[in-house]
Amino acid sequence: QYAESTHGFVGADLESLAREGAMNALRRIRPDLDLEEDEIDAEVLESLQVTERDFKEALKGIQPSAMREVFVEVPDVTWDDVGGLEDTKERLRETIQWPLDYPEVFEQMDMQAAKGVLMYGPPGTGKTLLAKAVANEAQSNFISIKGPELLNKYVGESEKGVREVFEKARSNAPTVIFFDEIDSIAGQRGRQQGDSGVGERVVSQLLTELDGLEELEDVVVIATTNRPDLIDQALLRPGRLDRHVHVPVPDEGARKKIFEVHTRDKPLADSVDLDWLAEETEGYVGADIEAVCREASMAASREFINSVDPEEMADTIGNVRISKEHFEHALEEVNPSVTPETREQYEEIEEQFDTAE
Ligand code: ADP
């Protein structure tokens, strides 16, 4: 029961909770007790029992520390780490980097800098990677918040959480605030299953914060979803998340570029042909391709470690290569995350969203 009501608590929070529960029990039997002054006699301690009520009282006063801390970082991802997606990169560069780099141009041209971007596309297609790259290239700080975490961790505190995130972003500007899986909190109001109104309150807070962002305040929100059709329309209106960027399932050319990114530091045998790999990987998204490359390296390592005398390892490791066979093995191990059916579903959703705009 306590485990259930302590979402987001770390060990130290639980320790405080236990201590505070015990203190409540003590106060209950000795309300007049002055801890600084009074000695507590052994008899009192022996009869001391911490009850459920004591814990419940304690729980009111303790917040999970995970939520009190909003982490700010400058990511180390660059545009070169993102394979393919040339159009998407260009859009992000213009939308986010330009207003930060060339505010005078925006002023002269009377152009509004974007406050918010919605990136939509299937999971694993590189949305997080792109957001980090744009933050890094624009030399911005980066605050990352996952939708479901916002709801679970900040138990009853989600709106305050949103407020704190924006405050932190302002005080560290320029900042990119990254809201991952925004549909989990900002699905159309009143349509969420089992919603206790939290989602609705969080969306209101988000709207308030977005509307309150001053022009060129150097705070920009990037939100992601794979269900753009479910996002509360109010969030997508002008001045809010009004720039919409599609991050598609990679085509053959893009897959080759993603393979290039993930094999650039690996020792490849001449038999490995990236064109062939790109051809063989219909339906694989960036995250799948990364997994294929990892799996192929693992296969090569396994073969090497099992066949070589540990004494000779250091001398021979330089000759080890990842071969076509290792990649063939990896392709058997890693399945594409987009099947023809799911692809059709995504395309339908995306088409609907595009035409509704
Ligand atoms: P999303 O946010 O769309 O779910 P991520 O950006 O988290 O996807 O991608 C997960 C991982 O997959 C990345 O860390 C990266 O290693 C790999 N990946 C995804 N897309 C690409 C891409 N276009 N180029 C290179 N790597 C990619």
pLDDT band at residue 40 under the 50/70/90 scheme = confident
Query: How many whole angstroms separate alpha carbon 291 and alpha carbon 298?
Result: 10
Confidence class of residue 221 from pLDDT cuts 50, 70 and 90?
very high
Q: Which ligand 1 atom is nearest residue 130's CA?
A: 6
Give distance in angstroms: CA of 123 to centre of ligand 1. 9
Who lines ligand 1 at CB under 6 A? Answer: 82-85, 123-129, 224, 258, 261, 286-287, 290
pLDDT over threshold 80, residue 284 = yes
39 Cα to the center of ligand 1, angstroms = 61
Q: Token match 């339908």: residue? A: 348
pLDDT at 103: 87
Q: Confirm if 209 and 177 have CB atoms less than 8 A apart.
A: no
d(CA 27, CA 354): 62
Atom index in ligand 1 nearest the CA of residue 123 equals: 4
Look up residue 318 and give its two tokens.
């330089």
Name the token pair of 311: 């004494």
User: 44, 14, 15: which is closest to 31 by C-alpha?
Assistant: 44
Most confident option among 15-19, 303-307, 309-313, 344-348: 303-307
Tokens of 176: 């990119």
Three-state DSSP class for residue 81 = helix
Please give the distance, rounded to the nearest whole angstrom, from the Cα atom of residue 139 to the centre of ligand 1: 20
For the ranges 91-100, 191-200, 210-219, 294-303, which has the lowest average pLDDT? 191-200
∠ Cα 245 242 90 (to 5°): 35
Assess contact for 40 and 26: CB atoms under 8 A.
Answer: yes
Query: Which pLDDT does position 187 carry in this prediction?
Result: 66
Interatomic CA distance for residues 241 and 243, integer angstroms: 6
**188 — phi, psi (to 5°)?**
-55, 135
Give the per-residue pLDDT at 68. 55
Q: How far is the CA of 305 from the centre of ligand 1 (A)?
A: 30
Token couple for 310: 């540990």
pLDDT in tens, 133-173: 999 998 999 999 888 777 766 666 778 888 888 988 988 88
- Mean pLDDT for all residues in the chain: 87
Q: Which atom of ligand 1 is nearest to the CA of 83?
A: 24
pTM of the shown model: 0.80
Angstrom distance (rounded) from CA 32 to CA 43:
16
For ligand 1, atom 6, name the residue with the nearest CA: 126
Q: What tokens were used for 271?
A: 């038999």
Atom 26 of ligand 1 has which residue's CA nearest to it?
286
Q: What angle do CA 273, 323, 329 make, to 5 degrees?
A: 100
Distance CA 266, CA 327 (A): 13
- Residue 183 CB contacts under 8 Å (≥ 6 apart), including other chains: 147, 225, 226, 227, 230, 231
Q: What is the pLDDT of residue 57?
A: 83
Percent of residues, the chain, with pLDDT higher than 70: 91
Compute the average pLDDT of residues 24-42.
78
**Beta strand 116-120 pairing with 243-246:** parallel
